[in-house]
Each structure stands twice: as structure tokens, then as C-alpha cells.
Amino acid sequence: MKSQTLREQWLPNLPGNVLAGLTTAFALVPECIAFALVAQVNPLMGLYGAFIICALTAIFGGRPGMISGAAGSMAVVIVALVVEHGVQYLLATVVLGGVLMMLFGLLRLGKLIRMVPHPVMIGFVNGLAIIIALAQLEHFKQATPQGSVWLHGMPLAVMCALVALTMLIVYVLPRLTKAVPPALVAIVGVGVLSQLLNLPTRTLGDMAHIAGAFPTLHLPQVPLTLETLRIVFPYALLMAIVGLLETLLTFNLTDEITQTRGRPDRECLALGVSNVVSGVFGGMGGCAMIGQTMINLSSGGRSRVSGATAGIMILLFVLFLSPLIERIPLAALVGVMFVVAQQTFAWGSLRVLGKVPRNDALVIVAVTVITVFTDLAVAVMCGIVIAALNFAWQHAREIRAEVVDAAKGADGKAVDARTYVLHGTLFFASTANFQDLFRPLSDVHDVVVDCRHLHVADHSAIVAFETLRERYGKAGKNLHFVNLSSRNQHMLERAGVRLAEV
């Protein structure tokens, strides 16, 4: 992968990136409104947050082409806070969460995403693809005095027909022309068709009215006390963790798709700044959005212009274009998101499940399922733990020793000396296997442990060395350690351990 120059980040294919940004903006609006409703706040807060976060991360972030906004994973985190303490505490949480994200970026911790194994990435992508698809099913329901019920009859038939037409356009149009994003043509075309035929179908305006004013500076109205910090900090920390995880995982995916290398620390810093700005201007918190990122990339969006256009268009929708935008059929947006879910899901992972090691297959399935039924942070953490335990188990079994006895003397009697040539890594998981390699009671009088092929990894390894020396000492045998690397020798000296003498 290569890093992009400033020119490559901004100038390539300006018309194509502007159209990709416009397409992405159409897809952002219903998602942000839905997430705002989930968080039980005014939908305009979701749109303001999307405008601010999308525009600022696109302009100043470290990954051109990636789309950030008011994400559902963040909305779920703060529902309880809004219900118990109100919107002002939410805004304070968004600001504090942004500060934590900024610290993460300033400390240059973005590189930690390299610790996420590839099976976890696959599970993350598959889980979010399923979530995207399942979330669209809510649009096939309608509110009644008895609660939310599924559509039926003519409304359901029209909805399904428009969804199918949208998906057909998105799949077929690229075979005819690539001059315009197929998702944009599908959304506009289905919208015009439904208006001309006066079809009985739900529109974006049925979710919420999006007309509003320019966001104004509005500092969170909360008391600046330790009690406020006690209430806000746990939510802010969880919001920062979830936001950073989803952003960095989407960041990696975008790197792979575009075959270019972004700057994760800069992206974390920009995400933190944008959340702080969103909080003080009355917007929701946010992070990278994999669905909208896939729409942008598949529409040809590769530069910062596409993300900046998407953010600015959301503001224009709110200020000037709400009467037109509210007429867009939800079916068109649902159809686009179904295509995104289908294209996001790593279908190849189903074919390789029986070919990869069982532990990797377990990680893929576990992360996918946990993402769907709980949340991203828990899923990724569980995946990393499973992968780490598997790694430790495999390496613990690889430690071994070659036993070399001294040559026999002239009288035919064996010389009382034996050498153990160790191979592998000595760490917390392999210390038991390490001890099993030796037999102090039945060994010869002089034993040499050759460590030239041994890597000493942690304090457990140092304790294992001392334990082994004590075992041979109690048996009245001499034990010598030779050929320790300079690194291993330094580690032992820092711990105050001398192994050359018994």
C-alpha cells in the first residue's frame, strides 16, 4: 500500500467525488434520524452531528474516502443517560468522549488496531452487514395505536416493488454506464417515479421533519462538579471505546479496498475534535459508518471531497432542501442499504470456514454473532481474547528441547554431563511444558541448558528459570545456563537474577 499525497487526497475526479458525496448524503439522512430516535433525542441533533462529524473528519482526518457520522453504535450507548439525566448531559458526554478520542490520537495509539486479527475483521464486517440488513426491516412496519405492526396489503406490495426496483437499478446500471453512481440514480429515479404515479408509500418525511436552522454554539448546561463527572465519565469512556473501535476497523477495511495507507492517529484526533465541536453545537456523537463508507467507495468516492460534500449536503438538506428530501421514498433508501449489506458481507468467509484452522473459524463466527446480538466493542474484545488465547496455546505447545549427552570416555563409561538445547518461547503459558522437559532426580550430575534458540518473553519465564535451578539444587545437581541472548540477559539482570551459578 502507498500513502497519498495532498493532491491525491483532494483533486482526483472532482465531479465523481461530488456525486459520490451526494449519494452518501441521501443514505446518511435516514440513518441519522433513526439513530437519533433510538437515542430518544430530536432528529435534528442526529443531522447536526452528521454534518459536523462527516465534514470535519473528511477535511482533517487521516483516511480520505471514509464516512463518519452519528452512528447507531454510539446511540445505543447513551440511551440510558438521556432517559435518566436528559439531553444536556448527553452533550457533555459527547464533548468528554471527544476529548478522550483526542488523547488516544495524541498518544499515537491508533497503531494498536494492528493487534486485531484478520478473523476478527471478517467477523466485524459480517456482523455489521447483518445489522445493516436487519435495521431496514423496521421500515416495513408502521405505527398504530396498538403499537408497531408489519405492513400488509397494497402498502407492503408497493414497498417491496420499489425496493426491488432500486436494487435492480443499482446492480444493472454499472453494466451500462459508470458515469454516475448507480445508488444516486436509483434514489432519484424511484423518488420521481413514486411522485409521478402518486404511489402509496412511506417517505423520509414520515420519519421526521428535517427542516431547521444553522446549528449554533450551545455549551452543555450542566453543573461543573465532580458529581457531573461521575455521571458522564462512564458513558463518555464507553462512547470513546466504541467509536474508536468502529472507526479503526472501518479504517482498515477502507485501506484494503482502496489499496492506500491512511494515518490512524490523525483520524482518531480528527474524530475527537469533531465530536467536541458536535457536542458544543448541539449534535450527537459519532464515528465511522461502514454502510455509508461502502456506499461512498462503491460510488467512486476516494478523495476528501466526497466526505466533505456529504457533510455539507446534509446541512443544505436541513436549511433549504427539506421539502424535496422529505419526499424521497424510504423504499429507495432501504433498497440501497440492502445492496450495501450484501456487498459488505464477506461471502468468501463462508467458503473458507471449513478450510481455515478451527480456532480462526470460531473467531469469525463468534465475532459475527456477538456483534449482532450485543455490540461491536464486546464482539471485538471477545474476538481478540479468543485469538490471543489460541496464539498462547499454540506457542506454549511448541517449546521443546534437544538432549545431547557428552561422548563416552576411553574406558567406555559415559561422561557425567548433559546438554538441553531449548527451542521456542518461554512465557506464562509455556512454563509448565518447560518444567516437564527436565528430570532433576534422574538427570546426570552436570546439566547445561543451552538458550541460544530460546526466547524469554515475560516475568513468568524468569520465575521458571529460578524454579528449575532450585529443583536441580535440591537434587544435588549442577545446572548451568549458557548462550543467553543479550536481550534475555538484560531482562534477567533487571530482575536481579543470576543464572550462571548454582
The model's pLDDT over 148-164, given as tens digits with 9 standing for 90+, comes to: 788 888 889 999 999 99
CB 448 within 8 A of CB 500: no
| Whether residue 376 is found in the same domain as residue 432 | no
The answer as to whether 500 is a domain residue is no
Closest CA to 249 of 67, 70, 113: 113
Per the domain annotation, does 4 fall within a domain?
no
Do 174 and 148 belong to one domain? yes
Alpha carbons within 13 A on the beta-carbon side of 368: 21
Instruction: Report whether pLDDT(60) > 60.
Output: yes
Average pLDDT over the chain reads 86
How far apart CA 355 and CA 389 sit, in angstroms, is 21
Q: What tens digit of pLDDT does each residue of 185-231 get?
A: 999 999 999 999 888 888 888 888 888 889 999 889 999 899 999 99
β-pairing, 147-150 vs 141-144, is: antiparallel
| CATH number of the domain bearing residue 406 | 3.30.750.24
The reported pLDDT for the residue numbered 502 is 37
Question: Residue 443 sits in which domain range?
Answer: 400-495
CA 123 distance to own-chain centroid? 10
Residue 276 lies in a domain: yes
**What digits encode the pLDDT tens for the residues 425-437?**
888 888 888 898 8
pLDDT number for residue 271: 96
- Residues 469-489, mean pLDDT to the nearest whole number: 85
Per residue in 327-381, pLDDT (tens digit) is 889 899 899 889 988 988 888 888 888 788 888 888 889 989 998 887 777 888 8
Query: Domain boundary residue among 344, 365, 391?
Result: 391
Last residue of a domain, one of 391, 419, 446: 391
Q: Please state the rounded mean pLDDT for residues 14-29.
A: 90
Indicate whether 418 pLDDT > 80. yes
Task: State what percent of residues in the chain have pLDDT above 90.
Answer: 30
Q: How far is CA 379 from the centre of its chain?
A: 10
Higher pLDDT: 90 or 2? It is 90
Residues 80 and 61 in one domain: yes
Asked which of 362, 391, 420 is the last residue of a domain, the reply is: 391
- Tell me: do 292 and 366 sit in the same domain: yes
Number of Cβ atoms within 10 Å of the Cβ of 218: 13
Is the pLDDT assigned to residue 407 strictly greater than 70? no
Q: Please state, in angstroms and rounded to a whole number, the distance separating the CA atoms of residues 294 and 289.
A: 9
Q: Which whole number is the average pLDDT over 167-188? A: 89
Kind and range of the H or E element at 454?
A: strand 446-456
What are the pLDDT digits (tens) for 288-330? 988 899 999 988 888 899 999 999 999 999 999 888 888 889 8
| Residue 443 pLDDT | 84
Domain membership of residue 485 (yes or no) is yes
Same-domain pairing of 324 and 417: no
Q: Please answer whether residues 268 and 109 qualify as being in contact, where contact means their C-beta atoms are separated by less than 8 angstroms.
A: yes
pTM over 0.75: yes
If one counts the domains in the chain, the total is: 2
Give tens-digit pLDDT for 269-293.
999 999 999 999 999 999 998 889 9
Mean pLDDT value of segment 108-114: 81
Asked whether residue 151 is domain-assigned, the answer is yes
Rounded-to-integer distance, Cα 134 and Cα 136, Å: 5
Q: Mind listing the pLDDT tens digit for each residue in 442-472? A: 888 888 888 888 888 888 888 888 888 889 8
DSSP, collapsed to helix, strand or coil, labels residue 480 as strand
Higher pLDDT, residue 378 or 236: 236
Q: Same domain, yes or no, for 338 and 407?
A: no
Q: What is the pLDDT of residue 501?
A: 44
Asked whether residue 254 is assigned to any structural domain, the reply reads: yes
